[in-house]
Structure 1
């Protein structure tokens, strides 16, 4: 697995122990039966990696030229952004790097804020969205960055672009010699891996490496996977990777007491995220995925769809979900201002709900029941989202839900084995 082990990740969880590096090792903390470490016994609730550093006065950053990759989700429990907290504590970063939607979150899907001084702090914000390794490395060099701090809340889906911004940032660190520090956060859809694995021939901005659709990892764990499995053959490892781990959280824990900050404009709630890892596939179809409604990715439909779709789906008795006949007129995106018929998803049990299997069932029944309405986007975007053309070909050939889901079980099992050494949390 190449020099980056679970033991080192555990050791890097507390900043009181030696840093996690690609070449070194350190002793792991003692975990208790509830998944906490010794340092957690006097604490209550879940604490993010950012809160661990803030409680220490950000001393881990003292004397270093720090660049921060973040967006509006990079907040402490009191909703103060980490950059603002660093400035207040006297450890102002030399630069900030904004992903899709921007550092302060003013841009819509597929957009960014550009490069300019941050109005609040005066710190230069560089536009990192879409930047490749060389372009981002040039930004790091221009700012004189010695340590890159990454703090963005992910939603657990391979096609959510923030994890690939992190990958590019790690590549840029490897090119410039900068260190990399992840301020870890819980995965809001849990630790279960599910779905098809990306075929490298279909790599894009919504999936660059062979990761399954629902990876079930935190960004800190993904950083370990990237460092150990993908970077060695893709420009080289980062000299030093450190993970400030989450405290008081188990990987099977979906609900925490942390505030929910929408990581993008169409991710208003955690409920959205739990559906998104599956229903985002409707971006690749002619149906609306609910953008422009108050329940994006939970409300799906198109003109010409009626009550029979909900009846058909409910008749399948899919675990953990029910469907309501719904009518809506999106305010933007597909079918703007046009009344659509469709369904709204209602999860009845988080533990048994399988967003990807549910989405496959929805696609199969929509194509069968509404052949004049359902279609694929002309650019075959569905192939980018699922990581290959397999799902599209199987649906078009009339395959059933079990056959389609069964087609990726072997690669899913292999991914679970591959990720195992990099998992930090019980």
Structure 2
């Protein structure tokens, strides 16, 4: 441990957080605040956060720092904005925060070079990151983390991550991102469900992609381990984005998020259960019956009918499936979604979503054309999943030196 008794980061020696089932759960924010902000006090701070950066009394990191006279040079808001007023694919713009008077910079889609410009304009010396991630490669906050870390490395700024539990647990699943398929929904070589907290991801980024050049410090969670899920946690759940309403949404999202790549099916945006409700106008009860007959572990399926208020098939009746998790420790979100895709592909109404008319969005989400072409060739769900078993095992080994918390079987 360093002189402040906090967890050191980077690609160095692993300093695991001691955890047990009886240990009270505390986030990095709560530990830093309880320590009187010792890790950052006396510095001019840049805060990368959104509405999820709260303690268990729903007090935001920025508001608490401001009240405690910690010097904040600027706040940097990702997709959906710092206070969370923007929908998917949007931001709040650069403005002055009404509550604190601090400048809030629009960091959505910012490159590392843009981050450098914003950090320089704000005159900050230490960056503090506190955002609740949900564990999927196509959730954009992990690239906010990466780009801001890269900028901090170039400017010689210290980077402090206030860690939070991964609501989808600590296991990795799914295919690897491959060259030629990177995009805003998948930019780095990680698997589809990375199974890491943002603190562990920061260590992984620093060691694997940034050459250990970031002066990184992770203030770890107390009391979390990799077999705990969002529904297990005595912590506030603040929507990380408008279509992530519950911890169960985070559990299904690494799998059913793939339905964003299907033109014929709504992924439930515009309903109260996005990513748990999947359906389309050209479907009926038979799709749900076939999926339910597979008896997949940890999950049940309900025949569902819904009418989205926006996004795909707005104001149209959709028929399909509601995904109901019954045992998160047996549930594999990506294997489940692949089985749903395989059965949906048998319907005449099925069709993949094109991305700008030149490539398929499902390929960007899954990291290659393999899943799409195998399903089109009538491969079984088992064959599709087995196709990435080797790369998943290699990734799992690669991430181990950067993990801070115990995992299933460890």
TM over 0.5, shorter chain: yes
Residue of structure 2 equivalent to 1:160: 139
Q: Which runs of 5+ in 1 are unaligned?
A: 1-10, 37-43
Q: Contact conserved, 2:27 with 2:221, CA < 8 A, in 1?
A: yes
How big is the alpha-carbon RMSD for the aligned residues of Structure 1 and Structure 2?
1.7
Residue of structure 1 equivalent to 2:394: 414
> Which aligned pairs between 1:331-346 and structure 2 lie closer than 5 A?
331-346=309-324
Cα distance, 1:138–1:305 mapped onto 2, change above 3 Å: same
Give the SS at the match of 1:87.
Answer: helix
44-53 or 296-305: bigger deviation:
44-53
Q: 1:394 aligns with which of 374, 380, 386?
A: 374
Residue of structure 1 equivalent to 2:203: 224
Give the SS at the match of 2:39.
Answer: helix
Q: Contact conserved, 2:11 with 2:204, CA < 8 A, in 1?
A: no
415-424 or 196-205: bigger deviation:
196-205
Q: 2:362 aligns with which of 382, 389, 407?
A: 382
Alignment: residue pair count: 399
The answer as to 2:256 corresponding to 1:276 is no
Q: Contact conserved, 2:55 with 2:61, CA < 8 A, in 1?
A: yes
> 2-side partners of 1:28 and 1:397: how far apart?
47
Residue of structure 2 equivalent to 1:213: 192
The answer as to 2:111 corresponding to 1:132 is yes
TM-score when normalising by structure 1: 0.91
Shift of 1:205: 1.4
> Which aligned pairs between 1:227-376 and structure 2 lie closer than 5 A?
227-232=206-211, 237-238=213-214, 240-254=215-229, 255-286=232-263, 287-368=265-346, 370-371=347-348, 373-376=349-352
Residue of structure 2 equivalent to 1:17: 5
Shift of 1:35: 7.2
Give the SS at the match of 1:343.
Answer: strand
Residue of structure 2 equivalent to 1:5: none
Shift of 1:200: 2.9
Residue of structure 2 equivalent to 1:204: 183
The answer as to 2:34 corresponding to 1:75 is no
Shift of 1:31: 3.6
> 1-side partners of 2:300 and 2:402: how far apart?
35
> 1-side partners of 2:21 and 2:284: how far apart?
47
Cα distance, 1:165–1:295 mapped onto 2, change above 3 Å: same
Shift of 1:164: 0.6
Q: Which runs of 5+ in 2 are unaligned?
A: none
The answer as to 2:403 corresponding to 1:423 is yes
> 2-side partners of 1:80 and 1:165: how far apart?
22
Moved over 4 A (4+): 21-25, 27-30
> 1-side partners of 2:158 and 2:128: how far apart?
9
Residue-by-residue CA offset, 1:52-88 (whole Å, 9 max, x unaligned): 0111221221111100000000001100000000001
Cα distance, 1:153–1:29 mapped onto 2, change above 3 Å: closer
Shift of 1:191: 0.5
Cα distance, 1:193–1:344 mapped onto 2, change above 3 Å: same
Residue-by-residue CA offset, 1:13-56 (whole Å, 9 max, x unaligned): xx73377365977x958847x278xxxxxxx6310000001112
Give the SS at the match of 2:204.
Answer: helix
Residue of structure 2 equivalent to 1:173: 152
Q: Contact conserved, 2:4 with 2:39, CA < 8 A, in 1?
A: no
